[in-house]
């Protein structure tokens, strides 16, 4: 069984969704026969590469609300994340273009390190306040999970994985994804948003039992395709 997950490394609901998927898999009796594949999805590909900006004021401006109101929304997400064992500090965060991060994830996939790098990027961004936007930061994080430093830097310089990132995004659109996290099991069952672990477990069990056309579960909280309303 293959579980594909479209997500972005700066999507707070995606890290929550990852933890809930892991919880579901722990309860799934066929866990050793499940392959989890992380697919690329950018919340905001229009942000210029190499630049960052404070997340709180930019989201407040985008949604036409006050920074205090946005801070309260962020506090809600932090509370949900804490329930999954995650320590968020969203109001202090910065945002940027995640295209290079997704490119590095494709390199990691070729070396059997995609899952490790996905976790490392999410943890670095949300819990350590480290950058996941510039080449030097990404290379350092890649090395931490076992990637060769020169190979990582070269891949981010020659941009060889750009087509793969764009293909992931195109596939997500074809499957009807408009936000993340977006879970697809064997291209037969889909679920949008950070679904509770029990819902994801139900999907795994149903997919294991049979192979019907794509069935989409009701959407849960998540991020839209151009931003994250936290």
The answer to whether residue 230 is domain-embedded is: no
Q: What is the CATH number of the domain that holds 192?
A: 3.40.30.10
Rounded to whole angstroms, how far apart are CA atoms 66 and 64? 7
Residue 10's alpha-carbon distances to 40, 76, 108, 128, 219, in angstroms, are 12, 17, 18, 13, 20
On whether the CB atoms of residues 43 and 108 are closer than 8 A, the answer is no
The answer to whether residue 201 is domain-embedded is: yes
Asked whether residue 215 carries a pLDDT value surpassing 60, the answer given is: no
Mean pLDDT within 139-145: 98
Residue 123's pLDDT band (boundaries 50, 70, 90)?
A: very high
Q: What is the pLDDT of residue 216?
A: 58
The answer to whether residue 124 is domain-embedded is: yes
On whether the CB atoms of residues 195 and 17 are closer than 8 A, the answer is yes
Q: Which helix (H) or strand (E) covers residue 196, if one does?
A: none
The answer to whether residue 191 is domain-embedded is: yes
Q: What is the pLDDT of residue 227?
A: 60
- Reported as a single tens digit per residue, the pLDDT across 46-101 is 999 989 999 999 999 989 999 999 999 999 999 999 999 999 999 999 999 999 99
Share of the chain above pLDDT 70, in %: 93
The answer to whether residue 186 is domain-embedded is: yes
Domain extent at residue 91: 2-224
Residue 212's pLDDT band (boundaries 50, 70, 90)?
A: very low
What are 59's two structure tokens?
């989201």
The answer to whether residue 209 is domain-embedded is: yes
Residue 27's pLDDT band (boundaries 50, 70, 90)?
A: very high
The answer to whether residue 229 is domain-embedded is: no
Residue 168's alpha-carbon distances to 39, 41, 132, in angstroms, are 6, 7, 19
Q: Assign 3-state DSSP to the chain and report helix, strand, coil percentages, each to 5.
A: 50, 15, 35
Please report, to the nearest 10 degrees, the dihedral formed by the alpha carbons of residues 146, 128, 89, 91 taken in order. Answer: -100
Query: Total domain count for the chain?
Result: 1
Residue 219's pLDDT band (boundaries 50, 70, 90)?
A: confident
């Amino acid at each position: 069984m293959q579980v594909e997950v479209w997500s972005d490394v700066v999507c707070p609901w995606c890290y929550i969704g990852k933890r809930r998927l892991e919880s579901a898999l722990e309860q799934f009796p066929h866990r050793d026969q499940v392959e989890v594949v992380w697919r690329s999805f950018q919340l905001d590909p229009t942000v210029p590469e190499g630049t960052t900006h404070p997340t709180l004021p930019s989201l407040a401006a985008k949604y036409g609300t006050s920074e205090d109101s946005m801070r309260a929304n962020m506090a809600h997400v932090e509370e949900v994340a804490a329930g999954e064992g995650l320590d968020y500090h969203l109001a202090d965060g910065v945002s940027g273009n995640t295209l290079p991060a997704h490119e590095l994830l494709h390199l990691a996939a070729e070396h059997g390190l995609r899952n490790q790098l996905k976790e490392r990027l999410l943890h670095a961004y949300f819990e350590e306040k480290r950058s996941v936007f510039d080449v030097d930061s990404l290379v350092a994080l890649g090395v931490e999970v076992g990637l060769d430093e020169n190979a990582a830097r070269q891949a981010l310089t020659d941009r060889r994985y750009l087509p793969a990132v764009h293909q992931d995004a195109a596939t997500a659109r074809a499957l009807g994804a408009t936000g993340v996290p977006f879970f697809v099991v064997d291209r037969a069952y889909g679920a949008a948003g950070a679904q509770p672990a029990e819902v994801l477990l139900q999907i795994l069990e149903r997919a294991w039992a049979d192979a019907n056309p794509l069935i989409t579960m009701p959407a849960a909280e998540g991020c839209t395709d151009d931003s994250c309303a936290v």
